[in-house]
Amino acid sequence: MEKTLSKPATGEHTGVLLFLASFLALYFELVIIRYLSTEVRVFAYVKNLPLIASFLGIGLGMTLVKLPRWVRVAFPVVSAALFLSITFAGRLHITHVPFPSNAYLFMGLENQTSFRAALFFYGVIFAVLALVVLFFLVLGGLVGEYLGRMAPLAGYGINLLGSLAGIGLYTLLSFWATPPSFWLTIGLLAALPFLFRRWTALLVLVGVLLAVSLSGAERSLWSPYYRITLLEVQKPAGWPTVPAYFLTVNHDYHQKMVDLSPQFLSRYPRFQPNASAYATYELPYWLVDQPQDVLVIGAGTGNDVAAALRHGAQHVDAVEIDPMIYNIGKKDHPEHPYSSPRVTIHINDARAYLKQATQKYDLIIYAYLDSHTLLTSYSSLRLENYVYTQESLEEARRLLKPNGTLILAFASGNSFVTNRLFAVMARVFGAPPLAYFTAYDTAGVVFVEGAARTAGRNIPFPEISHDLPPPPPASLLPTDKWPFLFLAKRQIPGPILAVLLIFIAAAAVLVRFTVGLGRIAQRENLHFFTLGAGFLLLETKGITELSLLFGSTWVVNAVVIGAFLGMALAANLVVLKRPISRVPAYVGLFLFTAVSAVFPYSILNVLSSGQKVGVAAVLVGLPVFFSGLIFSRSFRDTAQPAQALGVNLLGAVIGGAAENLVMIGGTPVLGYLALALYVASALAVPGRVRADLRSAPAAASGAASS
């Protein structure tokens, strides 16, 4: 390796350095995706762009192995530019980049269709993605160098172990609510063996770490989902405690905590923001008389829970996905609703709770639940997409008592999202909901279904207007198969599609002048390429299916990604111990991928938790295992393991881009695309296919006897 980044490795250290390089690649992939989506908000909604950019960089680096000297020399500068631009995005005025289309509704971002807005959008996107590619180009080169010094399967096993360690450690850091400076410190420590005697690079990276530490981000709270900032409202003279707080997540306003107790409002009836929030939280109890059992979906810091307690609820189930937001409410909410023995808190995904609950409720409140972020870097789904589908509302309706009421509040204003919510509630309940515009946070809309819909009560709040006319019938409703509430129609929004096409074209040019497109088109490389694309889609599909079954929590995402790498590791160990034929592996892959693509996962909800985990693990995990068998079987025989694994990651770039087709075809398209790519990988197997076919009967009988 060039003297710019690492010291020469002795033979006995190669495995350790390969482990560290693999750790760094996966670890920094997670760090950059999380940090970038927090500070440059547009990447919270197009999160798989940094993912595929990292795959492109790692894949190219592994394929090239010996990177151009200028790339290695520039690595500290690229690293500094990337992390400092993220850290100081606010000062660079790129935190809130307008989205140049009205086809997608954002929370916290502005939609602007001007030429200037489009130019700014594309400029920021591609500048950041270029830095991401260059950063991971060097990390990929490190992995490729040490992988090339080892036997393929042994090296691949160490690569997977390093990747699993990267996932595991970053998951723990998220659980421990650590800030970015801590993430970068860990990464820098892991990179020290590659920076031995490279004092200039080391000083630059330490300088970056100091800048991040002093940037102010450390004063925020970092939950597994958000960067959280809590701002106090100055208390009025004579009142002993803070009566209101504003809570922002990832630089966007998210919610407020307000004291709406009779004691406070009787003394300060016009105090803001409390006075303007009063009508919103009182409305449910003008519509429903003294509900005894209340469920709050998206309880946040506790305003809706406090309102239920003020109106005599005997039991309140409060569902909140973010443990830190709950803890803030428990500690700082002026009315301390979470300290009441009448309240049970559930730190869980709302949809998962609805599936698991058996309690019946007089009142269910969807409390302005919106996430401001995507489910995972592998998926185009937003964290709350499955909460507002037809199936989700049917599950909520099942939990209502005979005279129960469901109230759904959402900050969608006068938009297609409001019309869509109106239509899906009318479909589920068989009658159009009562619908109110409110003055809450300027865009509040409230829908009412159930017993209170027909009560016909007058609302004594002048700021709440009953003037939302029934919209025209909606032909496109959010369902579990197409859960895109915020997408105007079945399409990839123009700006996202343009970015993907330009990025893929630029990647093709980059490959053309580095690796060479002809090398990618060789049968063996094409085989590894299509395997990589198929695996990425299979992984995304697994995350999507299991989040629907078990919840869209960060724990589920981390476990699924880790389990997929674990399946690949298990397959690699099998091939290490016993040669196998590709034919039975492909038969198993096609069979289980096809079954998984068409299987109605919703029927598993009738099973116990243990049974559901077991069946889901088989349906989602076996295609991954058979895919791993095929990859390891092919990887064992390759003469250039670093190139093969690099090409495999370049295929994942295409898989990541193709994932966006779910916006058109819904989530089932992931399984169909994965199946097609695996068929292509079978057709591209080098000339040993006939030998595999001849050995298939013997392999099959041997597998049966074992």
470: in domain: no
384: in domain: no
Rounded (to 5) percent helix, strand, coil in the chain: 60, 10, 30
Same domain, 407 and 525: no
Same domain, 244 and 137: no
Laid out side by side, the sheet with 315-320 consists of 343-347, 315-320, 293-297, 361-367, 400-410, 445-450, 434-437
Q: What pLDDT is stored for residue 413 in this prediction?
A: 81
- Show which of 433, 454, 475 is a domain's final residue: 454
Mean pLDDT of each 10-residue bin along the chain, 706 residues long: 44 85 94 91 82 93 81 88 94 90 68 84 95 95 91 93 92 90 93 82 87 82 91 93 94 92 95 94 92 96 97 97 95 97 94 91 92 59 82 96 94 86 93 87 89 79 73 79 88 89 92 78 88 90 78 70 86 88 92 84 70 76 91 90 91 92 90 93 72 42 34
- Show which of 454, 473, 497 is a domain's final residue: 454
Cβ contacts of residue 273 below 8 Å, gap of 6+? Answer: 233, 244, 246, 256, 258
160: in domain: yes
Same domain, 650 and 509: yes
Q: What CATH number corresponds to the domain at position 344?
A: 3.40.50.150
622: in domain: yes
**To which residue do tokens 């690569």 refer?**
159
Same domain, 118 and 163: yes
What is the tally of structural domains in the chain?
A: 2
380: in domain: no
- Reduced to 3 states (helix: H, G, I; strand: E, B; else coil), residue 296 is strand
382: in domain: no
Same domain, 652 and 668: yes
Same domain, 212 and 245: no
Structural domain range at position 595: 11-219+485-705
Same domain, 234 and 209: no
Report, in angstroms and rounded to the nearest whole number, the Rg of the chain calculated over CA atoms: 27
- Show which of 436, 454, 472 is a domain's final residue: 454
Token pair listed for 525: 């490389």
Token pair listed for 203: 């000083």
Beta-bridged to residue 684, according to DSSP, are none
Same domain, 190 and 300: no
419: in domain: yes
Same domain, 233 and 110: no
Which DSSP state fits 9? P
Same domain, 166 and 236: no
Q: What CATH number corresponds to the domain at position 128?
A: 1.20.1250
pLDDT digits 0-9 by tens, 573-582: 999 888 788 8
| Integer Cα distance of 232 and 256 in angstroms | 10
Same domain, 534 and 653: yes
Same domain, 599 and 489: yes
pTM for the model = 0.88
